[in-house]
Structure 1
Amino acid sequence: MIFKLIKTFFAVAAIFAIALYYQEVWPFWPVLVIAVLYMLLILVLSTNVQFNFFVKAYNRNPDFPDNSVALSFDDGPVEGTLEILEILDRYDTKAAFFCIGRNIQEYPEIFKEIIKRGHIVGNHTYSHTRKIGFLPSTVIVKEIEKCNKIAKEIGGVEMNLFRPPFGIINPKTQRAVKKTGHQVIGWNVRPYDAVTKSPEKIIHRITKDLNRGDLILLHDNMPNTAPILEQLLVILEQRKFSTVRPDKLFNIHAYN
């Protein structure tokens, strides 16, 4: 409803500006400004899942009773996921892994190992295409359903949680998850570990303002994730933070 109002407002403003332009009251630049502002607004709203604008996403829970944070990993499973699992075991930590369907097919035993060790898995589409923001809702539905189908066949789980690739949520994604019935999981601590090579910067971004109920995003397909994770878990212990699995943080069901 709010999105429709925004579109209507900008449409009326653009029509008004164009009318004044043709009447030689205004120059053409206000029309361009309105169009640019609209595109910028949609870009911001679509690339920030934590805004909860198009769909309700679970990003953080500051009311969680314990001084806990949650860990999540995107873009696996990959060979490096096994080392991450070993580290999590050593620190008795459970996490969520949002898996790409084609990676599940490539590393089925690692996918099953994630589940076996008590972690939860979530849907991260089949292909994780960079074109996700431009796909029609019917194609997004197929991406989600294909990933779920593979997870069911290999791991015996019917995933209920969905994390959109790159955190992109727009009206097309909104329609897709409404059809598939998935609950959207975002994050509120993003260290940009997929683009930053410095482990020190990544650790700093995570820990500089960490609070109860935060949900941390990492990627298990990055080469530095394992040592970063181990260092992070030591810091969490030092700061008296416990860890909790994301589904328990939000009191939701990971599987149907």
Structure 2
Amino acid sequence: MPCFVVLAFFAIAIGIVYELWYFLIAVLCLASCFTAWGAFDIRLGYFTPTYVKQKNSTEKLLALTFDDGPTPFTADIMALLDQYDSKATFFCIGKQMERYPELTRQLLANGHQIGNHTYSHSTNFGFLSTDEVVAEIEKCNAVLAKCTQTQTSLFRPPFGVTNPSVARAVKQLKPLVIGWSNRSLDTVITDEDRIFRRVVRKLQAGDIILFHDTSARTVNVLRKFLPYLKAEGYRCVSVDDLLNLHNHEK
């Protein structure tokens, strides 16, 4: 009988260990999934505080934002924005500003805002070290300063990726990280009407809307979207104006 009790005890203990081991694996898998989600969904602010919209907006204000320029399409977008008395924020790549310095200066001359979108927009951005992220941000800032004699406190990481390296770089340089609440997917969706419907379906006052000034497709969407906003009583302003960030000091 004592041997039976001992064997039963060991059997129960082994069962508990296995249960705990499976539970631990499940917890680790869940944590890994949530961390990956946090890295690729900037709206969560998982690694670093992020502005994604103006909450509880009492006015029908929106911030249109455009990534990855300037490009020749930026000029077409500026013309449309001017036509509808709208302002926007352009998150510019340093290499593109070097390529199109006049367009970069024209953005500011037309009353728009420029944010930092790194120097090279590396496809490996999510794997860069903290020092490499810092270098990308600082080099983009240097190009902007050379082109326009101005600075920006706004930063949008490429692809909306955040991780511990990005968080440490942000803590060191102290930019304001700007995400979005309404994503057009204009670099993925080819049907212009579908892009328009996607943005309109989710539209709310206080939204920060993500477009790209890199294709005729987006220009064509804006030809329909901007008059729609005007008819619905929305006003497009810079990110600074939407979020009242003018007094931010780096």
Which TM bucket (shorter chain)? 0.7 to 0.9
Q: Measure, in 2, the Cα distance between the counterparts of 1:24 and 1:45.
A: 31
Alignment of 1:47-62 (within 5 A): 47-62=40-55
1:161, 1:255 within 8 Å by CA — same for their partners in 2? no
1:159, 1:255 within 8 Å by CA — same for their partners in 2? no
Q: Which runs of 5+ in 2 are unaligned?
A: 1-12
Give the drift of 1:62. Answer: 2.9
Is 1:79 aligned to residue 52 of structure 2?
no
- The one-letter amino acid paired with 1:153 is K
Q: Measure, in 2, the Cα distance between the counterparts of 1:78 and 1:25.
A: 58
Alignment partner, residue 163 of structure 1 = 156
Q: Measure, in 1, the Cα distance between the counterparts of 2:52 and 2:107.
A: 22
Structure 1 residue corresponding to 2:83, chosen from 85, 90, 105: 90
Alignment partner, residue 201 of structure 2 = 208
Q: Measure, in 2, the Cα distance between the counterparts of 1:141 and 1:167.
A: 16
Alignment of 1:173-212 (within 5 A): 173-212=166-205
Alignment of 1:11-90 (within 5 A): 25=18, 33-90=26-83
Structure 2 residue corresponding to 1:99, chosen from 87, 92, 109: 92
Alignment partner, residue 5 of structure 2 = none
1:59, 1:187 within 8 Å by CA — same for their partners in 2? yes
- The one-letter amino acid paired with 2:151 is E
Give the drift of 1:172. Answer: 1.0
Q: Point out the structure with max Rg over C-alpha.
A: 2
Does the C-alpha gap of structure 1 residues 33 and 95 become closer, same or farther in structure 2, counting only changes over 3 Å?
same
Q: Measure, in 1, the Cα distance between the counterparts of 2:149 and 2:212.
A: 24
Alignment partner, residue 120 of structure 1 = 113
| TM-score (normalised: structure 2) | 0.88
Select between 135-144 and 61-70 the one with higher mean Cα deviation: 61-70
Q: Measure, in 2, the Cα distance between the counterparts of 1:214 and 1:136.
A: 32
> Secondary structure at 1:71's aligned position in 2?
strand
How many residues were matched structurally?
237
Select between 233-242 and 131-140 the one with higher mean Cα deviation: 233-242
Give the drift of 1:211. Answer: 1.1
RMSD of aligned alpha carbons: 2.2
Alignment partner, residue 9 of structure 2 = none
1:137, 1:172 within 8 Å by CA — same for their partners in 2? yes
Give the drift of 1:53. Answer: 2.0
Give the drift of 1:241. Answer: 1.4
1:64, 1:249 within 8 Å by CA — same for their partners in 2? no
